[in-house]
């Protein structure tokens, strides 16, 4: 767990926004840091969606959390379309993505195609979602565009923002289109339409 994850989880515990029986969504579960945090708070109640792009990471998640009957595992790219997409191997297990480049805009190796699904499709039967955590190595704008209906039924988003180039559009989606109140976790300040990109926002 890095310092950002620790600060995020400390904040979530402090504001007591996760309770037993909630529906939670971990988009970009990777090695399961947030899946474990969410599962510990749900205590085998409610429902937790564990969503991961990398087949290797996904198999490990299924094994590590096999004793949780309230977790639904989905090996797919979460984006703004239903179909299939090429996916790319990152330099570490945490950096696989659908963009084709890493955080430094260096090209990644294409390793295959994978099912793509929107959150609107995946969560169409969920009437209320307490929290969606999104960490998808730069594809967060595409995830947000694919959850127009789900956003209306979601109380909290925990979002990791990777690129300055995408922030203006993401900020507009969050604040103006989806009407979320956004909070910069690192600086403890509210985000408005002139705020610079926060690395982590709630």
What's the predicted TM-score (pTM) here? 0.94
pLDDT, position 134: 97
Any idea which of 49-63, 68-82, 97-111, 183-197 has the lowest mean pLDDT?
A: 97-111
Name every residue whose Cβ is closer than 8 Å to that of residue 64 and which is 6 or more positions away in sequence.
32
pLDDT, position 93: 66
**Helix (H) / strand (E) containing 38:** helix 33-42
Q: Of residues 6 and 121, which shows the higher confidence score?
A: 121
pLDDT, position 48: 98
Q: Average pLDDT of the chain?
A: 93
Beta bridge partners of 156: 131
Phi-psi region of 200 (alpha: psi -120 to 50; beta: other; left: phi over 0): beta
pLDDT band of 72, cuts 50, 70, 90: very high
Q: Quick one: how many helices (H) and strands (E) in the chain? A: 6, 11
Taken in order 142, 140, 38, 154, the sign of the CA dihedral is: negative
Tell me if residue 142 falls in helix, strand or coil: helix
pLDDT, position 88: 84
Q: Of residues 137 and 172, which shows the higher confidence score?
A: 172
Biggest alpha carbon–alpha carbon distance for the chain: 45
> What is the C-alpha separation between 129 and 139, in angstroms, rounded?
21
Report the pLDDT averaged over residues 26-34. 95
Q: Is the pLDDT of residue 39 over 80?
A: yes
Q: Which two tokens stand for residue 60?
A: 């490990």
The 10s digit of each residue's pLDDT in 97-113 is: 777 677 777 788 788 89
The 10s digit of each residue's pLDDT in 154-193 is: 999 999 999 999 999 999 999 999 999 999 999 999 999 9
Beta bridge partners of 85: 114
Q: Which two tokens stand for residue 61?
A: 């998640």
Half-sphere exposure of 55 (CA within 13 A, CB side): 7
Q: Of residues 3 and 71, which shows the higher confidence score?
A: 71
- Of 109, 192, 191, 121, nearest in space to 150 by CA: 121
């Amino acid at each position: 767990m890095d310092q950002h994850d620790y600060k995020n989880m400390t904040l979530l515990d402090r504001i007591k926004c996760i309770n037993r029986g909630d529906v939670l969504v971990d988009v970009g579960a990777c090695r399961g840091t947030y899946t474990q945090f969410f599962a510990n708070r749900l205590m085998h109640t409610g429902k937790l969606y564990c969503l991961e792009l990398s087949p290797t990471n996904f198999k490990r998640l299924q094994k590590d959390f096999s004793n949780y009957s309230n977790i639904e595992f989905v090996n797919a790219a979460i984006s703004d379309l239903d179909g299939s997409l090429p996916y790319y191997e990152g330099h570490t297990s945490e950096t696989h993505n659908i963009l084709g480049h890493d955080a430094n805009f260096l090209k990644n190796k294409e390793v295959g195609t994978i099912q793509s699904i929107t959150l609107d499709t995946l969560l169409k039967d969920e009437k209320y979602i307490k929290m969606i955590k999104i960490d998808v190595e730069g594809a967060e704008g595409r995830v947000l565009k694919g959850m127009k209906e789900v956003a209306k039924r979601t109380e909290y988003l925990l979002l990791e923002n990777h690129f300055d180039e995408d922030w203006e559009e993401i900020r507009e989606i969050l604040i103006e289109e989806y009407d979320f109140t956004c909070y910069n976790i690192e600086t403890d300040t509210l985000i408005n339409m002139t705020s610079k990109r926060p690395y982590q926002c709630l």
